[in-house]
Amino acid sequence: MKEISDLNLPEDVKYTKDHEWAKLDSDIVTIGINDYAQDQLGEIVFVELPEVGDTFSEGDEFGSVESVKAVSEMYIPISGEITEINEALEDAPELVNESCYDSGWIIKVKPADVSELDNLMDKPAYLDMLKG
């Protein structure tokens, strides 16, 4: 298991307390699980995805990731409508382990209120939370 100092935590995304990440590009937010979460879960064997067009409120469960050890739910950090899901994960869930911020992204959301992103943590705040 990785030490906190070895975690890959990019500066240009925001973090949730449930170890998801979110990144705003023009008016769409991309969401995935972060390096800590994928490392903790171990080899991911299945990602349960929502449907395009589903709408969620901030904090709702939107899917789950299953590893050889555990099933863990994922919670959406921003209210809005799913515009895209990463269909590649259906055949290659291991992308979440290999590249959690890039080809292992999970959903894209059109936010109802982009200011909800302000509630998320930047890298230093997230690191503080991990260190407890």
Helix (H, G, I), strand (E, B) or coil at 37: helix
- Map the footprint of another protein across residues 70-109, applying CB under 8 A: 70-73, 75
Q: Which of 64, 79, 83, 97 is the binder for another protein (CB under 8 A)?
A: 64
From 58-66, 81-89, 93-101, 106-114, span contacting another protein (CB under 8 A): 58-66
Provide, rounded to whole angstroms, the least separation between the CB of residue 68 and another protein: 5
Of 75 and 112, which has the nearer Cβ to another protein? 75
Provide, rounded to whole angstroms, the least separation between the CB of residue 124 and another protein: 18
128 contact partners, CB below 8 Å, separation of at least 6? none
What is each CA distance from 53 to 2, 61, 105, in whole angstroms? Answer: 36, 15, 18
Dihedral of the alpha carbons of 8, 14, 16, 20, in degrees to the nearest 10:
-60
77 Cα distance to chain centroid: 9
Site of interaction with another protein (CB under 8 A)? 1, 17-18, 39-42, 46, 48, 61, 64, 66-73, 75, 132
